[in-house]
Amino acid sequence: MNAKIFKAYDIRGIYGTDFDEQDAYAIGRATVDFLGCQRLAVGRDARISSPVLFESFTRGAMEAGAHILDLGVITTPMVYFAAGRLDIDAAVSITASHNPPEYNGMKICLRGALPVGEASGLSAIRDIAIAGKFKTPETVGSLTPEDIKPAYYGFFSSFAELKDHHFSLVIDTANAMGVLELPIYEQLSENLTLVRLYDDLSHPFSAHEANPLNTQTLDELREKVVRCQAHLGIAYDGDADRIGFVDETGLIIPMDLVTALLAKEVLKKKPGSTILYDLRSSRSVKEFIEENGGRALECRVGHAFIKKQMRETGAIFAGELSGHYYFEENSLAEAGTLPALLLLNLMVETGQPISQLVSETKRYFHSGEINSEVRDKDEILTKLRLHYADGKQHELDGLKVDYTDWWFNVRPSNTEPLLRLNLEASTPEQLAIKQAELLSLIRS
């Protein structure tokens, strides 16, 4: 077993190279030994390696004494849904998200979809699995099938408030797990015309990369939306815990601006609530949340940190620049199709196309994330602290410096020799000047 498959938030690597079924067995035993769980729900994606990994992992978990609820082939948000509603101690999704088909892995959470990351147990599970020294249980566990999908579909389709409006949607599921989110739209068939792209799970992960953060993967969706005169384009990532959108003109909607629009919708039902937004987001996101009666709080990058801060602050919703959106309705976890339904509701309520709604939130000019390979990350961060000492500095996640009419954030990668830069300015000219200035400092 390659110890590097244990990441900050999950387990992920190339099946047959980085880990195999014997390792999955050891991880199953170690998970139950460390967490002490008696009832464990396990779902899996449709990768070719998922059935054998499921069998090995659950065999290890059962031999450690756990009773397994077999959730079958499902999305990661469905696993979170199960973790929030079933009588279980923990849940596992066997998936490698948007990674290529030769990859696989696991995401582990506790009851209530509380994530198990490196700092909250994943490193201990790694050490136990590698050592191979397991506890001897009093009894061996068993396995029972549990179909959570009907309850999931019924629950989330109930959020649609489309009335007598009709929408045309283009949905790209990339032959990945987003295919299993489509029945929610089908339950709303009186209101929706669906144009599907790559919805064949019999050839899983065989289309383009299932990653809406990679703008190139959205090219076909953008073209199809314009050609079909659709109201909205929707793209899912590999395990359907991220979602991206294209407006009716074929333009990609920035994911931080989606956070702003979703915040407006959730605040209608719970005015005054706390909303978290990724610290890389446009300044307009905070402004928009506050204008719509919410309490806006900045959060660091990463789902484990965000879910923890949501619990600590009582936040009901959070949005991340990567396309993760977290809702209290799904135990403060990602909720698959719910962002799409809420955007449709907003279009119904305002009578405006999605492009018009987005334009209300687009007030500044944002660089997007720019990566730079550096030899000494700490040295560069120190240089930036000194150079921009006249700005308002924060170190919630890397270094963020605020000025009246522009800001930047530089974050070190946890796994690579990279610094990640995001900046925003009031004018495109100022953005270009500050971007060149920062990159010169970072790369020199």
Residue type, 82: A
* C-alpha torsion 181→182→183→188, nearest 10: 120
Name 255's Cβ contacts closer than 8 Å, sequence gap at least 6.
213, 244, 319, 320, 321, 322, 323
The pLDDT tens digits of the residues spanning 313-346 come to 999 999 999 999 999 999 999 999 999 999 999 9
The pLDDT tens digits of the residues spanning 136-183 come to 999 999 999 999 999 999 999 999 999 999 999 999 999 999 999 999
The pLDDT tens digits of the residues spanning 268-303 come to 999 999 999 999 999 999 999 999 999 999 999 999
Specify the 3-state DSSP secondary structure of 255. helix
Name 23's Cβ contacts closer than 8 Å, sequence gap at least 6.
1, 129
What's the token pair of residue 256?
A: 């931080």
* DSSP letter string, 317-366: EEE-TTS-EEEGGGTTEE-TTHHHHHHHHHHHHH---HHHHHHTT--SEE
Give me the sign of the Cα torsion angle 236, 202, 107, 35: positive
The pLDDT tens digits of the residues spanning 386-406 come to 999 999 999 999 999 999 999
Specify the 3-state DSSP secondary structure of 47. coil
Q: Which residues pair with 19 in a beta bridge?
A: 15
Instruction: State the catalytic residues.
Output: 97
pLDDT band at 415 (very low <50, low <70, confident <90, very high): confident
Q: What 8-state DSSP symbol labels residue 375?
A: S
The pLDDT tens digits of the residues spanning 243-272 come to 999 999 999 999 999 999 999 999 999 999
- Which pTM was predicted? 0.96
Q: What 8-state DSSP symbol labels residue 1?
A: -
